Amino acid sequence: MSILPVITNPNPHLRRQAKEISADKIKTKKLQEFCLDMAETMLKKDGVGLAATQVDENIRLVTIKDKEAILILINPKITKKSFARVWGEEGCLSVPGVYGQVRRHKKITCLYLDQAGKPKKIEASDMLARIIQHEVDHLDGILFIDNAKDLTEEKQKNE
């Protein structure tokens, strides 16, 4: 396993529409290792989610930290969104030191494939729903700062 370099805004690759992963590629050793590298990178960088586009891979794959588990979502598609939406603070590994309030759906349903290529469905609410929406936005070339209000920038510490 290895830590992958995270690209940051304004890298134009963050604005690309990620491509679906074909069924035959899912079970390859290369993709399985990439999933492990993504999860390790997310944890090492203290993130709660990471999209493949953030490590400059133009594929529809995200890793998410959910309590003690790591979720790998391949080709995630949000199929249902609650009418209720809530504001909440977000940050991003690809927009370091910047935070803002983003309005997201309180509950969502997401269909995806797991690492074995099996179809799965997750019904998420609150923080998990927010993370999934944030990461799926990445796959569509959208950054949280595009929809955020009250953006603040953390002062850089002297290194």
Q: Which residues are catalytic?
A: 135
Element (H, E) at 151: strand 149-153
Write the DSSP assignment of 44-89 as a string of letters.
HTT-SEEEGGGGT--BSEEEEEETTEEEEEEEEEEEEE-S-EEEEE
Beta-bridge partners for 78 = 110
Write the DSSP assignment of 86-150 as a string of letters.
EEEEEEETTEEEEEEEEEEESEEEEEEE-TTS-EEEEEEEHHHHHHHHHHHHHHTT--GGGT-EE
